[in-house]
A = this chain, B = another copy of it.
Amino acid sequence: MASVGKRLPRSVREQQMLDAAIREFAQHGFHAANMDAIAERAGVSKPMVYAYLGTKDELFVACLRREAGRLLEAVAGVVDSDLPPDQQLWRGLRGFFAYVGKHRDGWAVLYRQARSREPFASELAAMRRAMVEVIAERLALALAGHGRSVPAEELESIALALVGAGESLADRLVDTPQEDPERVATRMMGAIWLGAERQLHGEVWRTHQDQSA
């Protein structure tokens, strides 16, 4: 890893520690992740980790904050509110998959680990809710442009489904390095956006074609 014996300023060591921690958390999960192993990965001894980033929980939170920040940047940083809503969605989606492609371990921790460990789970859940809200708003805007409107509740369900679909595809992306994030984004926009748009314009899929129950 880092060449031995070299002394480094705190700011860069902290980043190395976060890198190391995220790898470890991603590979073994929070519980099985070993503080000694994290220290070793960072090319440093354990007490340094505690000195700089605190306990295991605090370290985990630090990882989450950094990755959540990067994700937010990747998504919100590329969206221009002057664009038409579907283009905003497209930009956000592309930014999202780009982040996942570049920081696979980070995404794995956010998605696979953080959801199961309180109190981080609530923090992440809040972020997710915010994302759903933003998407629902864009959908509403897209609708308004066509002179239609749809119950907010339904918009949120669609937005939530979009988010879930994105996470699912992101999850595959993590395990398949050869996959191109751009292509995934395009596929998703094709598969999902068309459906949302269609429903938003008033088409319904009719349950009662089903004969029974």
Contacts and interface: CB of A to CB of B under 8 A. Distances in A.
A198 B194 contact: yes
A207 interface: yes
Chain A contact residues, majority secondary structure: helix
A203 B190 CA distance: 8
A15 interface: no
A10 B123 CA distance: 41
Contacts of A189: 205, 207
Given A112-B116, A187-B154, A204-B190, A164 B160 contact: no
Interface residues of A, number: 49
B161 A168 contact: yes
A160 B174 CA distance: 14
A49 to B, nearest CB: 20
Given A161-B191, A187-B157, A90 B31 contact: no
Contacts of A190: 199, 204-205
A189 B31 CA distance: 38
Interface of A: 28-31, 87, 90-91, 112-113, 115-118, 154, 157-158, 160-169, 171-172, 184, 186-199, 203-205, 207, 209-210
29 contacts: A29-B117, A31-B117, A87-B209, A87-B210, A90-B210, A91-B210, A116-B116, A157-B169, A157-B188, A157-B191, A158-B191, A160-B168, A160-B169, A161-B188, A161-B191, A162-B165, A163-B168, A164-B168, A164-B171, A165-B165, A165-B168, A186-B205, A189-B205, A190-B205, A192-B192, A192-B195, A193-B195, A194-B203, A195-B196
